[in-house]
Amino acid sequence: MSVKVDGYKSSTVFEQLKVNITDNEAKKKETIKKINAIFEFNVKNSEGKEQIWTLDLKNDGTVQTGKGSAKPDIIIGLADETFVELASGTLNGQKAFMSGKLKIKGNMMLATKLDGVLSTIPKAKL
């Protein structure tokens, strides 16, 4: 099932995350063991619309649009652009958090694992 949502640049990132996380069973288990949390992303695009994506890296290892069946451990609210910047690498989660670009609800500590989740997205190099 596709996690693509038109009008969001983040959409392709989630599609990639889905592939990266769910493709390989061994890798999926390793990721779940390492992260062990459910992330809910509340992404706001340039038109001010909000879209939720949920990364379950605790039970099933899934990426989906909308809320998951289980309660998320952390809810991260951010702009579409910010998510793309995080995924593309040079904006790291810490910088984003410090500059107020991430709104976090729930277990803040889990946000520290965000870079680890997103590091599977390839980045442009100088």
Partner 1 sequence: MAFQSMVTGAECATGSNPMSQIMKQFTDDRSLQKDTFIPSTERADSSSFRTARLGASSQENKFAQDFFNQQEHARLQGPVSGIPKFVAPHKEWLAEFKNMSDHPQLWKLGSAEAGMEEAFKRTNDHSKWNNEFLHGPDLPISQITEMPEFEEAFQKNFDWASEYVLKRDKGKGKEKILELDNLSWEEQFAAAQRKAESENFKLDDDLKLFREFEDVWSKSNYRGQSDDDEFNDSKAWESEFGDYIFEPNNPYLKHANPFQEGLRLMEEDGSLSEAALAFEAAVQKDEEISDAWTWLGNTQAQNEKEEAAIRALQKAVEVNSNNLTALMSLAVSYTNEGCDHQAYLTLERWLTAKYPDIAISNAPMHGVMDTHSRVTDLFLQAARSAPEGQGMDPDVQVGLGVLFYGSGEYEKAVDCFVTALNTRKDDYLLWNRLGATLANSGRPEDAIEAYHKALDLKPTFVRARYNLGVSCLNIGCYREAAEHLLGALSMHQTGLNGDIGVNTSNSLRETLNRTFLMMERKDLADKILSGSDVNQFREEFEF
Q: Which residue, 32 or 106, is less far from partner 1 as judged by CB? A: 106
**Residue of 13, 8, 4, 15 whose CA lies nearest to 43:** 8
Cβ–Cβ < 8 Å for 63, 21: yes
Alpha-carbon gap, residue 100 to 20, rounded angstroms:
28
Which residues from 65-104 bind partner 1, rule CB under 8 A? 77, 81, 84-85, 87-95, 97-100, 102-104
- Tell the residue number behind the tokens 């996690």, with chain if given: 3
Piece in contact with partner 1 (CB under 8 A), picked from 15-23, 25-33, 48-56, 65-73: 15-23
Considering the rule CB under 8 A, would residue 60 count as an interface residue with partner 1? no
User: 72, 38 in Cβ contact below 8 A?
Assistant: yes
Residues at the interface with partner 1 (CB under 8 A) = 9, 11-13, 15-16, 19-20, 23, 77, 81, 84-85, 87-95, 97-100, 102-106, 108-109, 111-113, 115-116, 120-126
